[in-house]
Structure 1
Amino acid sequence: MQRDGSNRSIWQDHAGPTYPAVSGGHYEVLIIGGGITGLTAALRLQERGKSCVVVDAHQIGFGTTGGTSAHLNTVLDTPYTEIIKQHGKDRAREVLQSARDAMAHIADNVNRYAISCDYTPCSGFLYATDDAERDELINIEGAIRELGIACEKVEEIPLPAGNTYAIKFAEQAHFHPTRYLLGLLDAYVKLGGHVIEGALVQEVTDEDHQLRVKVAGGETLSAGAVIYATHTTPGIQLMNFRVAPYRSYIQVWELAEHESYPHDLVYDMKEPFHYFRTVQQDGKFYLMVGGQDHKTAHHDNEQHNFFELEAFIKDIYSVKEKRYQWSSQFYESQDKLPFIGYYPGKSHQRELIATGFGGNGMIFGTLSGLMLTDLILTGDCRYRELYLPTRIGPLSGVRDLVVENVDVVKRFISDRFSLQKVEGLAELGRGEGRILKYDGNRIGVFKSEEGKIYAVDPVCRHAACIVKWNNTERSWDCPCHGARYGVDGVLLNGPSVAPLEKWDLETNERQSPEERTSVENTGKE
Structure 2
Amino acid sequence: MVSPWQTSITSVTARQSGAQKVYDCLVVGAGITGLTAALTLQQAGKNVVIAEAQQAGFGTTGGTSAHINTFADTTYAEAESAFGEDGAQLFAQAIREGYDLIVAWQKDCDFEVKPGYLYAETDEEVKLLDEIYQGAAKAGVAVAYADKVPTPVPFKKALLWPGQAQFHPLKYLQNLQKNFLAGGGLILENTRIESAESKDGLHMANGIQARAVIYATHTPPNINLFNFECAPYRSYVLAVKLKNGKYPDALIYDSQEPYHYVRTHVIGGEELLLVGGLDHKTGHEDAEKAFAGLEKYVRAYYNVSSVKYRWSSQYYVPVDGLPYIGQMPLAAKGIYCATGYNGNGMMLGTVAGKILADLILGKANRYEKLFSPSRIKPIDSFSEFVKENADVAYHFIADRINVHETDSLKRLQPGTGKLVEVDGKKVAAYRDDTGEIHALSPVCTHAACIINWNGAEKTWDCPCHGARYDINGKVLTGPATRDLTIIDTHEN
Does the 8 Å contact 1:297/1:468 carry over to 2?
Answer: yes
Q: 2: distance between equivalents of 1:130 and 1:291?
A: 19
Match of 2:203 in 1: 211
| TM-fit CA distance, 1:274 | 1.0
Question: AA paired with 1:311?
Answer: K
Q: 2: distance between equivalents of 1:284 and 1:18?
A: 27
The C-alpha deviation readout for 1:371-394, integer Å capped at 9, x for no partner, is 000000015322011101011222
Q: 1: distance between equivalents of 2:256 and 2:311?
A: 21
| TM-fit CA distance, 1:420 | 7.9
| TM-fit CA distance, 1:134 | 1.3
Match of 1:37 in 2: 33
Q: 2: distance between equivalents of 1:478 and 1:254?
A: 33
| TM-fit CA distance, 1:78 | 1.9
- Larger displacement relative to structure 2 (499-508 or 177-186): 499-508
Match of 2:167 in 1: 175
Does the 8 Å contact 2:404/2:419 carry over to 1?
Answer: no
The C-alpha deviation readout for 1:343-375, integer Å capped at 9, x for no partner, is 111342x10000000000001110110000000
Decide whether aligned partners of structure 1 residues 428 and 25 sit closer, same or farther in structure 2, where only a CA change above 3 A counts.
farther
Find the partner of 2:9 among 11, 14, 22: 14
Match of 1:280 in 2: 266
Does the 8 Å contact 2:233/2:280 carry over to 1?
Answer: yes
Find the partner of 1:221 among 202, 205, 208: 208
Residue 405 in 1 paired to residue 392 in 2? no
The C-alpha deviation readout for 1:482-521, integer Å capped at 9, x for no partner, is 110001001100111111110111235xxxxxxxxxxxxx
Find the partner of 1:450 among 434, 442, 464: 434
Q: CA RMSD in A?
A: 1.6
Decide whether aligned partners of structure 1 residues 396 and 423 sit closer, same or farther in structure 2, where only a CA change above 3 A counts.
farther
| TM-fit CA distance, 1:9 | 3.5
- Larger displacement relative to structure 2 (333-342 or 154-163): 154-163
Question: AA paired with 1:34?
Answer: A
Decide whether aligned partners of structure 1 residues 193 and 7 sit closer, same or farther in structure 2, where only a CA change above 3 A counts.
closer
Does the 8 Å contact 2:12/2:178 carry over to 1?
Answer: no
Does the 8 Å contact 1:11/1:177 carry over to 2?
Answer: no
Share of identical aligned residues, percent? 40
Match of 1:264 in 2: 250
For the residue of structure 1 that corresponds to 2:103, the secondary structure is helix
Match of 2:95 in 1: 99
Match of 2:310 in 1: 325
Q: 2: distance between equivalents of 1:426 and 1:192?
A: 55
| TM-fit CA distance, 1:452 | 2.2
| TM-fit CA distance, 1:140 | 1.4
Match of 1:516 in 2: none
Report the TM-score, using the length of structure 1 for normalisation. Answer: 0.91
Q: 2: distance between equivalents of 1:25 and 1:504?
A: 43
Match of 1:58 in 2: 54
Find the partner of 2:348 among 348, 364, 385: 364
Match of 1:188 in 2: 180
Does the 8 Å contact 2:27/2:214 carry over to 1?
Answer: yes
Q: 1: distance between equivalents of 2:404 and 2:412?
A: 19
For the residue of structure 2 that corresponds to 1:84, the secondary structure is helix
Q: 2: distance between equivalents of 1:13 and 1:261?
A: 21
For the residue of structure 1 that corresponds to 2:24, the secondary structure is strand
Residue 334 in 1 paired to residue 330 in 2? no
Match of 2:422 in 1: 438
Decide whether aligned partners of structure 1 residues 446 and 194 sit closer, same or farther in structure 2, where only a CA change above 3 A counts.
same
Q: 1: distance between equivalents of 2:264 and 2:168?
A: 11
Residue 295 in 1 paired to residue 281 in 2? yes
Question: AA paired with 1:83?
Answer: A
- Equivalence map 1:128-167=2 (5 Å): 128-167=120-159
Residue 116 in 1 paired to residue 100 in 2? no
| TM-fit CA distance, 1:237 | 1.0
Q: 2: distance between equivalents of 1:208 and 1:87?
A: 37
Structure 2, unaligned stretches of length 5 or more?
none
Question: AA paired with 1:61?
Answer: G
For the residue of structure 2 that corresponds to 1:202, the secondary structure is coil
Residue 493 in 1 paired to residue 477 in 2? yes
| TM-fit CA distance, 1:15 | 2.4
| TM-fit CA distance, 1:262 | 1.7
Question: AA paired with 2:255?
Answer: M
Question: AA paired with 1:19?
Answer: A
Does the 8 Å contact 1:262/1:278 carry over to 2?
Answer: yes
Q: 1: distance between equivalents of 2:218 and 2:312?
A: 17
Find the partner of 1:417 among 395, 401, 408: 401
Find the partner of 2:224 among 220, 237, 248: 237
Does the 8 Å contact 1:12/1:178 carry over to 2?
Answer: no
Q: 2: distance between equivalents of 1:423 and 1:336?
A: 46
Residue 305 in 1 paired to residue 290 in 2? yes
Report the TM-score, using the length of structure 2 for normalisation. Answer: 0.96
Question: AA paired with 2:159?
Answer: I
Structure 1, unaligned stretches of length 5 or more?
1-5, 215-219, 509-525
| TM-fit CA distance, 1:278 | 0.9
| TM-fit CA distance, 1:411 | 0.9
The C-alpha deviation readout for 1:203-251, integer Å capped at 9, x for no partner, is 201022210113xxxxx21111000000211211112211110000000
| TM-fit CA distance, 1:198 | 0.7
